[in-house]
Homo-oligomer: A and B are copies of this chain.
Amino acid sequence: MSKTSPQPPSAEANGVSVIYTQAHSSGLQQVPQLVPVSPAGGGKAVPPSRQGKKSSFVDRNSDEYRQRRERNNMAVKKSRLKSKQKAQDTLQRVNQLKEENERLEAKIKLLTKELSVLKDLFLEHAHNLADNVQPVGTEPPTANPDSSGQ
């Protein structure tokens, strides 16, 4: 009883899914019904073509309105879900890349070590040649008159 998502604001999630999915805010007993589509001068006064039709009010009771709202609500949900998906994918991508990075670093470490070994062999051999030491048969391993490290 402690790790649940914020749960829909009581309405709709409960049995009160009557009609007012928009129960929030000051409504609950809507009186106005008709509200100006855009209060305060929106700049250009209503497109001349729509003048003699519905001035500029929306009927919050019309089926048209409710249907539009519902559709938009669905679209919103969908969009937000998609958004969250993408965010998660991005997170996964990060982890994926981090893993690959570690893999590559490990490989580099290995290759570097191998190279180091081979180079050392070369150096040793070069020294042997320079010090006049025959290859097969005789081998004074680390008993060389060599004094330098490296």
Interface residues of A (CB under 8 A from B): 10-11, 14-16, 22-32, 35, 38-42, 60, 87, 90-91, 93-94, 97-98, 100-101, 104-105, 107-108, 111-112, 114-115, 118-119, 121-122, 125, 129, 132-138, 140-141, 144
Contacts and interface: CB of A to CB of B under 8 A. Distances in A.
A40 B15 contact: yes
Contact of A14 (B22, B41, B118, B137): B41
Question: How many monomers of this chain does the complex have?
Answer: 2
A129 B104 CA distance: 37
B115 A111 contact: yes
Contact of A135 (B93, B94, B111, B129): B129
A26 B30 contact: yes
